[in-house]
Amino acid sequence: MDDLNGTALYAGILGIMAVALALNIAFRRMETKTAIGGEDDILVKRSRAFGNLVEHTPLMLILLMLMEYKGSEFFVHLFGIGFILCRGSHAYGIIARNGLGPDNIPRAVGAVGSWSLMILASLMCIF
């Protein structure tokens, strides 16, 4: 496949998600008048939701690009949609809920789902 339209679509959506989460941090910084760092739990949660997204997204986009290049367009869309849903669930779990694992289902589903998709995409690139 010569074009990477699927990967470009998910890169764009994930980019918008990153900016939305970054703005969420900026608004909280303005509310609390916190320039750098801070002890505010809400600010820390928002920062981690953003950080987790930008930590996982580059690798997934590279994997999607390679899958699409190899001709796996259907799986690019399946994994791209799944990854966006998982990252959204994870961010919601971090920002709006407390706890880990069974105490925070959206966060757990988002994390495990994202990792699972990344492993499956990695295996598709290998084989």
Judged against a pLDDT cut of 90, whether residue 79 lies above it is answered with: yes
**How confident is the model at residue 38, as a pLDDT?**
78
**How confident is the model at residue 35, as a pLDDT?**
87
CATH number at residue 114: 1.20.120.550
CA distances from 37 to 46, 57, 108 (A): 12, 23, 26
The whole-number average pLDDT for the span 116-124 is 98
Rounded to whole angstroms, how far apart are CA atoms 49 and 71? Answer: 32
**How confident is the model at residue 24, as a pLDDT?**
97
Judged against a pLDDT cut of 80, whether residue 2 lies above it is answered with: no
In the chain, what percentage of residues exceed pLDDT 70? 98
- The residue segments making up the domain with residue 76 are 5-126
pLDDT digits (tens, 9 = 90+) for 32-41: 999 887 789 9
Q: Which residue has the higher pLDDT, 91 or 38?
A: 91
Sign of CA dihedral 108, 100, 103, 99: negative
Q: Which of 114, 97, 119, 118 is nearest to 106 (CA)?
A: 97
Nearest 10 degrees: Cα torsion 36, 50, 52, 48: 50
pLDDT digits (tens, 9 = 90+) for 29-72: 999 999 887 789 999 999 999 999 999 999 999 999 999 999 99
Mean pLDDT of the chain: 96
Record the pTM. 0.94
Q: Which of 101, 115, 95, 8 is nearest to 43 (CA)?
A: 95
Q: Are 106 and 83 in contact (CB under 8 A)?
A: no
Rounded to whole angstroms, how far apart are CA atoms 97 and 126? Answer: 37
Tally of structural domains, the chain: 1
